[in-house]
Each structure stands twice: as C-alpha cells, then as structure tokens.
Amino acid sequence: MLPRCKVYALGIVCAAPLLLTAQTPIAPPSTAARGIAAPAPTAVAPLRLDGGAVSLDGPWQFHIGDAPAWASPAFDDSSWEQLSATRPWGAQGHPNTEGFGWYRLHVAFAPGAPETISLLVPSVDDSYQVYWNGRLVGTFGKLPPEGNLWQNPEPRSFDLGPREAGVLAVRVWKDGFGSYDTGLQGGFEAPPTLGSPQAVEAALDSWNYNWLRGQQLSLALDLLFALVGLLCLAFWLRNRGQWLLLWMAGYALSRALMPLFDANLVPLSHGMEAAGTTPLFNLGDVSLWFLLLWLLDLRGDTRLKRLVKIAAIIEMTVSLPDAFTGIGMAGFHPEPWQWADGAFTAVYTVFEVIPFYLIGLALVRRQRLDWARWMVAIVALTAQSLFVASVSLGQGSRFTHWTIGNTIAEPLFTIFGSPVTAPNISGTLLLIVLAYAVNRYTAENSRRQLAMEREFQNARVVQQILIPADIPDVPGFAIESVYRPAGEVGGDFFQIVALDHGGILAVIGDVSGKGMPAAMTVSLLVGTVRTLAHYTQRPGEILAAMNQRMLARSQGGFTTCLALRADADGTLTAANAGHLAPYIDGVELAVDSGLPLGLAANSTYTEIQCSLKPGQQLTLLTDGVVEARDVSGALFGFERAAAISTESADQIAHAAQEFGQDDDITVLTLSYVPVEVVHA
C-alpha cells in the first residue's frame, strides 16, 4: 500500500481516482497446522461474505489493560464488556482512558466464503497490533516500550491466510491526551473489514479515493496559500525593503505547510507532528500581526511597533520548548509534559488578542484607510474570532466538556464531497483580501519610491549645475575645493566669485533638509550670491540679503552660512550666520556667529577683519567633517578638525570620510601667495 503522502501527491498531479495496491505477504500456516485449538464455530454466528467482504461492526469483546494471553484463541473472554467498533472506546464509557486496550472477535464463516481471508483496519487511535488465532499478523506504529507513537494512522490491510474459524484480536495503545483532545478518543474509529484479498483491496482503494475526494477543497486552498506565499517571497527577495511582502509570505507559507504535519498527509509520530506544527502555527500568527500593523497604517506608532516585536519574539521563543512537549507527550509517561503543554498554550492564547487590539486601535483612531484595508480589518476580525473561539473553547475540553469549539469546525456543507467549514471560508477570504491589500500597498509604495527617485535625480542634476565644477584662477590665491554628499542629494553648497579688483568672494553653507526642497533652496541662495556680488562685496550685507530671501521662501527651513572676502593684499573680511568658524593655519578664526538664515527678520551679521599672511592657509568646513562618526558612535570632533585643517582639501575630506561619514562633507582651502612672491 502506498503511504498517504504519495496518494496526496498523485492526487495533485493526476487529480483522478487512485488505485492503490495492498501488500499481500505469503499466507502463513493455518491454526490447525500449528496445533492451536480453534474455538467451536457453532458458538459464533457465521459471517456471510456474499459481496466478498463484511464490516466487523461488532459487538467486540473489550477490556482495558494488557496481557499476552489475551491474544490466544483459547482465552475465555466471556466476562469482558462488549463495544461497537463504530466509535472510539472513549465515547463508549471509557473517557480519558490512556494505555492499552484489547478488542477480541470470534469469527466463523458461512459456506461459500473465500478460500483466503484479508483484513482492512481503518484509523485506530493510536498504535496497534493485529493477532489472528494467537499469531501476530501485523503492526502499525510502535508500542511500549519502543515509543515513537504515530499520529494520524492510515488504513492498513493484513493477510490472515486460509479461511478458518478463529479469534481476531487487536491490541491497541492509546497515548497521552493533548491539550485539545476531548477525552473521547481511543481504539477503533471505524469498523474493520474482513473479506477476500480482492475485496479488501477494493475497499482500501475506495477508502483512499473517498479520502482524496474529501481533500479536494483543502488541497486547492493549500495550493493557493503556497502560490501566494512563494510569489511574495520571490518578490521580497528581489526587493528586501518591502517588508510587507515578507510578512505575507510568512503567513501564507505557514498555512500551506501545516497540513504536511497535521492533515494525514504523511505518517508522523506525535513528537514530529508537534515539532513541525507548533513553529509554523506561531509563524503564521506573528506574520498576521505585522501585516495588520502595516496595512492598518499603525507602524508609525513606535511604542506599539516595539510591543508587537516583543510579543513576536516571546511567541517564537516559546514555540521551541513547546515543540518538545509534543515529543514528551508521545512517550509513555506524558503527565508532566501535558502540564507543560498547557502552560505554553496559555501563552499563545493570551497573544491571540493582539489582532483584536490592532483592529480596535485602528477603529478608535479612525485611521484613513482605503476600502481594501478596511476589508482586511473586517475579515481578519471575523476569522480571528472563529479561530480564537475554537481554540480557547477547545482547550481542555475533556475537562470542561464544552463542545462549541468542535461545533465551529464542523462542516457547513460539502462541495463535490469536500466538507466546507466556517474556518475554511473565513481563512480563504482573509488570504484573498490580504493578498489584494498587499498588492495595492506594494504598488502604491513602488509609485512613491519611483517618484522619490525621480525627485532625487532631478535634485542631483540641479545641484551638480549649482556646485562649481571649475575653481576660478585668481592671482595671489591657491584655491582647492571638495564636495562629497552623504546621499544622492546633499544640502551643502559653496560659491567662489573672482572680484574685479583681484580678490575673491567665498560663500559656504549648509541647508537643512534633503532632496528637491534642499536643492531648490540651494539654487535660490546661489542665485542670490551671484546677483549680490555685482552690487556689494561686503559679507554682512550679503548674508542679510540672503536671510530675507530665505524668510520668504524657506517654508520653515534654515541655512547656516559663512561669507568671506579676501582682498589681493591678504585682508580678510568675514561674517557668519551660524556656520562653523574657519581655520587659519590650524587656529580657529574668532568670528561672531549670528542667527542662521531664515529664522528671524532684520537679522544683522557682524563683520570681522584680519590679515592673511603670505603662505598661510584658510580652511572652511561644513559640519559633515566634525560630525563624522566611527562604528562606536564617537564624533570626529573639533580637535581632529583643527589638527588636520592645514592639510589639503582632499586629505581633510578623505580623513573625515574614512572616520565615518554621516553627513555631507564640503571643504574649501585658500592659500595666500602674493603676486610679487610668485614673480620673485
């Protein structure tokens, strides 16, 4: 017989009825040949196998406990109670019963029965052994003391050999109950089928076909979740900045992979089932939290975002030891592990309120969301309500005897044999609205990013035009400049204007803000400097005029700026609007610092004068030099800036950049070399 995982895989590929072949071992010797006395057939109603097979509904002789003698056909089981094989023993007077239980059925055949007999055993909770007239004919799973109990057992067929009267005995081990078990499990979940090998094989094929037919809807939903998850993961790998796509991938893939562990797709032990299902379950939870945080436009709340992150870390951390509790409960002393499982589950139950809190917060704050995001909130609220109700009310149901959790999961109707439940409907709707909302959000975000990129490109073009590429050749002065923006567009600017009388006018500044607004402010100020240079060369008047322009058009921004005039005889005249003071041969020049441009009307800027001696170097910087930071967060600082201020402009900028550039870096150096010295 093929494992159910292969049946499921064939259903995906072929989507057609499956014909599975049961393994038929060589027939063992008969009871009489081995010298075992079979019970008198006259004491049992003969079984008529007119259709080749018969369902063994019972009544079966049943007893809790374990003894090797109970497999013998000679054992007297007349004092045992009788149970039907149509329901578990927990639903027939033995609730919350763990451990061993035995079923025995005395079998005789009416004339015309097949010469060779096989047995089909459907799902049994949990592991079992089949004995025919005292002979072990097959086992499913492992029984104590070997461990490794099996979750979701599948039907198995067993060859009983030549037709003969005898006793069919089934030894069952029911392992410890989980936190969601009702206590009504244990033993047969459906009656076995006895008949010819051909009839049993046909019954097994029919069972697998009906099982696969009933899984069509679940299969389609799982494939839908997997497709959405893989697409989102692929798009996220192409653009790692789109975190919403990662959360969507986590939510969808966790739901798609969970059936591999808990939906009868592969035969796994309880421990493996818990170890696989628990982390996936928690990953889906956490991913939904961050999806709601993004889609409901709540991620701007730093405190809320931090709380969700902490809750996510706790839930994913707790999932690891909780997976081991499943392994522990699969052993033969499960009680301590059951208590641990209940404690960890309590943590999950508390965190299930997070989606409700996020949705309620969006409603209270009256977030301005489009209809797609409000649909996410409504559907998520409905789906989470159904989920929390089924989980919380199903928790410990064998003690509370509450049935509403199971009622929620019951089918509402069927489609082509596939049951449809309320959680199916709400989960599918949630996936659809999430996928649609994520797609809209991602598209909007892409459009915004494209617009910002265009703005940065335009601003960079403007700035490249405004920042002088060529330094004017002014007799008596050696001038160097370096401009290194921290990003695509910086806020620094400088201008060097050659004066008619042989001197130069130098202006350096730093505009608050970035991007196109900063670039436009720079263009305004540079244009102002170039215009004013035709009418006045006094630094104080130039800064005052620039301040007036800034007040009219800065829209709340400000600019630090230093204006300086160097005459042909070495005389310096400088005025400062909140900018860094310049250095002369490594010594800071004492210049009054007025208010930055754009903050107050009628600001005045005091001028200072000094002389630049032949061979001395004047160095002007922006704050990108002194505010450079290393990996530990230490600032480059004023002392380092003063120490290297006698170096060339390129060396100064390189030193600050290597230390750790954090802002735009602009350096101007002006060395005074009188014309007569040059001629000499």
User: What tens digit of pLDDT does each residue of 371-384 get?
Assistant: 888 888 888 888 88
Task: Please report the pLDDT score of residue 406 as a whole number.
Answer: 73
Query: Would the pLDDT of 574 be above 50?
Result: yes
Q: What Rg value do the Cα atoms of the chain yield, rounded?
A: 41
Most distant CA pair in the chain, distance: 139
**Cα separation of 442 and 283, whole Å?**
22
Interior angle at CA 620, CA 614 and CA 621, nearest 5 = 150
Average pLDDT, the chain: 81
Span 451-476, average pLDDT: 70
CA atoms within 13 A on the CB side of 249: 14
Q: What is the pLDDT of residues 525-540, one digit of tens each?
A: 888 888 888 889 999 9
Query: Are 135 and 73 within 8 A, CB to CB?
Result: no
Which residue type does 648 have? S
Please compute the mean of the pLDDT values over residues 10-30 and round it to a whole number: 32
Q: Residue 676 has what pLDDT?
A: 57
pLDDT number for residue 424: 83
User: Could you report the per-residue pLDDT of 218-256, keeping only the tens digit for each?
Assistant: 888 888 999 999 999 998 998 887 888 899 999 999 988
Decide: 158 and 25 in contact? Cβ < 8 Å.
Answer: no
Domain architecture of the chain: domains with CATH: 4-203 (2.60.120.260), 215-448 (1.20.1070), 470-679 (3.60.40.10)
pLDDT band at 515 (very low <50, low <70, confident <90, very high): low
* Local structure of residue 667 (DSSP, 8 states): E
Expressed in angstroms, the distance from the first to the final Cα of the chain is: 106
- For residue 646 the two structure tokens come to 């006698």
pLDDT at 191: 94
Closest of 452, 577, 596, 454 to residue 512, by C-alpha:
596
Provide mean pLDDT across the span 628-643.
Answer: 90
Task: Specify the pLDDT at position 134.
Answer: 94
Give pLDDT, residue 41: 36
Close Cβ partners of 63 (under 8 Å, ≥ 6 residues apart) = 70, 77, 80, 81, 101, 102
* Single-letter amino acid code for the residue at 515: G
Whether the predicted pLDDT of 350 surpasses 80: yes
The torsion angles phi and psi of 114, rounded to 5 degrees, stand at -60, 155
Q: Which amino acid is at 564?
A: L
Burial call 72-92: b when 16+ CB within 10 Å, e when fewer? bbebebeebeebebebbbbbb
Summarize pLDDT for 553-570 with one digit per residue, the tens: 766 778 999 999 999 889
